[in-house]
Amino acid sequence: MFEQTIHALHEQLKAGSLKARELVEAILARCIAVEPQVQAYISLTPDLAREQAEAADAAFARGDIRSPLQGIPLALKDNLCTQGIVTTCGSHMLESFVPPYDATVVRRLREAGAVFVGKANMDEFAMGSSTENSYFAPTRNPWGNLEYVPGGSSGGSAAAVAADTCIASLGSDTGGSIRLPAAMTGVVGLKPTYGRVSRFGLVAFASSLDQIGPLTKDVRDAAILLQAIAGHDKCDSTSGDIPVPDYSQGLDRGVSGLKLGVPREYFVEGMDPEVEASVRAGIETLKLLGAELVDVSLPHTRYAVATYYVLANAEASSNLARYDGVRYGLRAASDGDLLSMYKQTRAEGFGSEVKRRIMLGTYALSSGYYDAYYKKAQQVRTLLRQDFQQVFTECDALLSPVAPTPAFRLGERLDDPLQMYLADIFTAPVSLAGLPAMSVPCGYTQQDLPIGLQIIAPPFQEAMVLQVGAAFEAATDFHTRKPVLP
């Protein structure tokens, strides 16, 4: 039963042919069986899951059906604050941090009656593309005999869905951190428009880029989970006060008559040939379903990765300054003065990738370099946004690869940060423009590694992303394949 979707399980729970407690026990047993190999979680919460499942069963028994998520076991990325549950961000710095409150998305899921299996592993403070930067352990991709990365930084959230140790999960996406692991693990991953989902209670990496979104087994599940977490929140001044449509309503509309743009800059020299072939085949599938393909250009794409890593690191430098060993989190032992304690705490608390990004961001913000780097990057960000605005006058949505390669081997890029950063080449531009985008499975390599097709739409048009994704999914069976764990 742990291989089933939210919508299939909801029907069984509603009919009484399945109990939430049975489902939770099946998921927990699955965790015992495969979690030591995959390491998708930083912490499991079996007692809470059982308590929430029993509450869901009681609600079903009295006819109180509040949401399709009622009684459904979910994983939460470990940068989402959960009241009374350790929230580490994959870092030694927050190894013992227990938030006194829930993130808004967590509160909304509690109110929907969802069940929390545990906190999913991640690159430290969401900084990474492979989930190898976790302080606790690297997560392994369920595909490829556990020899490959699951992508990052939401690699634990994606791997848990792929390995069936939860039914669905939440991740966060700053420059591709939902879409990249979704593509590499063969699941669906949706990054909403910046402002569609409240960031309150999401531990900040880059505040102008961070967004929370679902990782699921199919597109309909993504619509269901997005429905539960989307909407304005007075606790987040950047959340959009815009009505939330019923995302499940338009999933069967198909793509006939839609104009779908194919950006020529997203098919670059050096791209893995199997990735290009699968993505182009996926695009042709949508054409056969009735969509009109439009050749479009996003001319400033070549500057996106550099722009992203200037802006994201600058914001990280500012956001992570709060970890000083005084208020919460790690405090290193120090015989010196207050400044020595700050230095020692940060030296011990942060991993090498986080330190690298803090230093790069601090440099970009420093006197004499601010205009040359940070200000210039903001100007280029505007040009990137204008590129998308222009192409969306010509088409309804865009189609592209998610990443230039499939999943790479564990350890392969740890000593080459630039190669790691280039994994974001097709996802970072979308984040800089604040657009919604989704990865759906569109193929597999000869090594049986998943490949993702990226669907991009104008701001707050998640319904369009889901509509195109659902049409593609209905015409293919890539999303139904499962990894065989050793």
Where in the chain are the domains? Answer: 1-486
Give the C-alpha distances (Å, rounded to integers) separating 226 from 12, 67, 232, 360.
Answer: 21, 12, 13, 34
Whether 352 is a known active-site residue: answer no
Q: What is the mean pLDDT of the chain?
A: 97
Q: Judge whether residue 129 has pLDDT over 80.
A: yes
pLDDT value for 336: 78
Active-site annotation holder among 177, 198, 317, 431: 177
**Of the listed 91, 129, 130, 153, which one is catalytic?**
153
Confidence category of residue 234, pLDDT binned at 50, 70, 90: very high
Is 153 considered catalytic here? yes
For residues 202-213, average pLDDT? 98
The percent of residues above 70 in pLDDT, for the chain, comes to 100
Decide if 77 is catalytic.
yes
Model confidence at 309: pLDDT above 90: yes
- Is the pLDDT at 187 greater than 90? The verdict is yes
pLDDT score for 345: 95
- pTM tops 0.85, yes or no: yes
Query: Catalytic residue among 19, 77, 119, 191, which?
Result: 77
The CATH number for 1-486, chosen from 1.10.10.10, 3.40.50.10440, 3.30.1330.60, 3.90.1300.10, is 3.90.1300.10
Q: Which two tokens stand for residue 243?
A: 């009505």
